[in-house]
Amino acid sequence: MIRSHVLICGGTGCTSSGSVNVKAKLEEELAAKGLNGEIKVVQTGCFGLCALGPVMIVYPEGTFYSRVTPEDVPEIVEEHLLKGRIVTRLEYKEGAEITQPGENVSLNDTDFYKSQLRVALRNCGVINPENIDEYIARDGYMALGKVLTEMTPDDVIQVLLDSGLRGRGGAGFPTGLKWKFAKGYENDQKYVCCNADEGDPGAFMDRSVLEGDPHAVLEAMTIAGYTIGSSQGYIYVRAEYPIAVKRLQIAIDQAHEYGLLGDNILGTGFKFDIGLRLGAGAFVCGEETALMTSIEGNRGEPRPRPPFPAEKGLFQKPSILNNVETWANIPQIILKGADWFASMGTEKSKGTKVFALGGKIKHTGLVEIPMGTPLRQVIEEIGGGIPNGKKFKAAQTGGPSGGCIPASLIDTPLDYESMAAIGSIVGSGGLIVMDEDNCMVDIAKFFLKFTVDESCGKCTPCRIGTKRLLEILEKITSGKGTLEDIDRLEELCNYIKANALCGLGQTAPNPVLSTLRYFRDEYIAHVVEKRCPAGVCKDLLKFVVDKEKCIGCGLCMRNCPASAISKTDYVAPGHKLPSVEIDPDKCVKCGVCMGNCKFKAISKQ
């Protein structure tokens, strides 16, 4: 009998922090101690707490170890797995109440997990994604069985409509409606597509679902095939996700072996198959029409809508395209019912949403929360707040297509309507947190650089417009901007928004518009006072020496790469050596002098 399971995260985050070596060492130690017959090591998908990887969880106690190194493994085996003593120094327990030392802390009591509600991520970090039996043990493929044996396609659509599920890729279109349209068009061939071309900087929830629970996506796509009358599905996944691609392929092979994909699924005569298509990582290929063009073997460029994909999609046939996270919700909705799903979230935004926390936040990672959870709770409680005692300034949601939420609106609920009302979007769920050291003009510039790089070039507003936007922003951050530039920026943004061909172009100006809306004074400081309030824009910075504080040790002089620092004649009262000064013409604004000064005599202005 296996009395204990040790789950080790094999997601991309923990793999890069070394979980593979930890797993190898653990297996070696268990074998050496003769424990391998009673303790099972399982490699799972993402637990979400990527900042603390590699992470490991030991059941039945449910002890959560973070930042485990191969050197820690002998201690865990000897102390915990053999003697039952928790290795407290490695235990993650932030926020949990501990009544006695050495007490075991359940993961669900920690700040990071206690407000989370895991639906799309329910199997991530629980099952071995490369073992179909473990998925089945968690009611996997039961929804497909139910659909094929008890439900008509219209029943399925009705359940989805009643559940209120909306697309998790960003636009939030009702999923049931999308399927209903596609079902309505008669054709000899239809297609079911999965959008796994996750491209927003900082978003990685789709990758985690594919890595942690690939069968959920396959099951949901097969349900969709039955519902709209399609026998072929495609998953368009970026080639930069090698672990996801590998696990998807394993999952597809296993599903074939069990007859859950192929000609006669579960003996019902229903036929469906899924193919993988690897994308080369162009951001525009996450746009539905561009994605389909790319699957067809052409250059990934969008095409005008209408006709919408439900009528003429992949290979000009009626098609549906849903995002990975949307798919992952569907088997649960079928099994537990529309009412269960609709009981979570808000009036118009039902269910849960996965957010990828990144930027200036303590717990970088993945969280799944009910729709409508206030941003404050996500940042302060789940995310653990801003590191180094800094102040929260803004959060960017929806990546380059979204907008920022300023500190004054930190109590805004995270749902489709509330986000739209303040000029941002839920988007795919990237949540980048910024503190007082971030310059909002610089942030807008960062996202614009991204869109300029990623614009496919097919339509002029996007190809040339975003380039001009970036140039104006560069002019402002280099101190050459004028107030007219700000007006021109705004005008151009609105023009691109109204005239670009696809979603990429239409939303590209959002980071500029929303930073202008909430941080206009920062733009004005850049152009009028030629000053960057956050001290980020190098061209506007000046490093100065406080001559009263400088003791003349010369450390900064020796470290300056540009030889911009020299001695003066001034000796401050109480000091023995003359102070130094910085020649602004020679200074390259690297900040080395400031970092080295032990007397805090150098500051940037």
Planar angle of CA 214, 253, 50, nearest 5 degrees: 25
Query: How near is the Cβ of 78 to another protein at its closest, in Å?
Result: 10
Could you say whether residue 5 binds another protein (CB under 8 A)? yes
How near is the Cβ of 262 to another protein at its closest, in Å?
8
600, with CB counted inside 10 A (0-12, 13-18, 19+), is: exposed
Q: Tell me how far apart the alpha carbons of residues 322 and 195 are, in angstroms, rounded to a whole number.
A: 6
Q: CA-based angle 193:196:202, to the nearest 5?
A: 155
Give CA–CA dist 322/192, Å, rounded.
8
Considering the rule CB under 8 A, would residue 479 count as an interface residue with another protein? Answer: no
- Parallel, antiparallel or unpaired: strands 352-359 and 262-265: unpaired
Residue closest to 564 by CA, chosen among 603, 592, 541: 592
In angstroms, what CA-CA distances link 267 with 135, 152, 235, 260, 335? 20, 17, 24, 9, 20
Residue 20 CB: number of other CB atoms within 10 A? 16
Residue 273 binds another protein, judged by CB under 8 A? no
Euclidean distance between CA atoms 479 and 497, whole angstroms: 27
- Taking CB under 8 A as the rule, does residue 336 contact another protein? no
Count of residues near another protein by CB under 8 A: 37
What three-state secondary structure class fits 356? strand
Among residues 145, 307, 385, 578, the one that binds another protein under rule CB under 8 A:
145
Interacting stretch for another protein, rule CB under 8 A, among 54-62, 65-73, 401-409, 418-426? Answer: 54-62
Residue 258 touches another protein, criterion: CB under 8 A: yes
Q: Judged by CB under 8 A, does residue 520 bind another protein? A: no
Out of 103, 133, 347, 583, name the contact with another protein by CB under 8 A. Answer: 133
Structure tokens at 119: 């639906």
The residue with tokens 């789940």 is 382
Site for another protein contains 575 (CB under 8 A): no
Instruction: For another protein, give the closer residue by CB, 266 or 524.
Output: 266
Q: Which stretch binds another protein (CB under 8 A): 1-9, 270-278, 496-504, 517-525?
A: 1-9
Instruction: By CB under 8 A, name the one of 2, 24, 31, 483 that touches another protein.
Output: 2
- Residue 1 interacting with another protein (CB under 8 A): yes
- Rg for the chain, CA atoms, rounded: 27
Q: Kindly state whether residue 139 participates in binding another protein, applying the rule CB under 8 A.
A: yes
Residue 223 interacts with another protein (CB under 8 A)? no
Q: Does 562 bind another protein (CB under 8 A)?
A: no
Whether omega for the bond prior to residue 70 falls within 30 degrees of 0, making it cis, is no
Whole-angstrom Cα distance, residue 120 to residue 115?
15
Q: Which is nearer to another protein, 85 or 567 (CB)?
A: 85
Rule CB under 8 A: is residue 259 a binding residue for another protein?
Answer: yes
Of 43 and 397, CB closest to another protein: 43
| Residue 269 sits in the site that holds another protein (CB under 8 A) | no
Beta strand 319-323 with 191-196 is: parallel
List 18, 21, 28, 62, residue binding another protein (CB under 8 A): 62
Footprint on this chain of another protein (rule: CB under 8 A): 1-5, 7, 38, 59-62, 82-85, 102, 106, 126-127, 133-134, 136-142, 145, 149, 258-260, 262, 264, 266-267
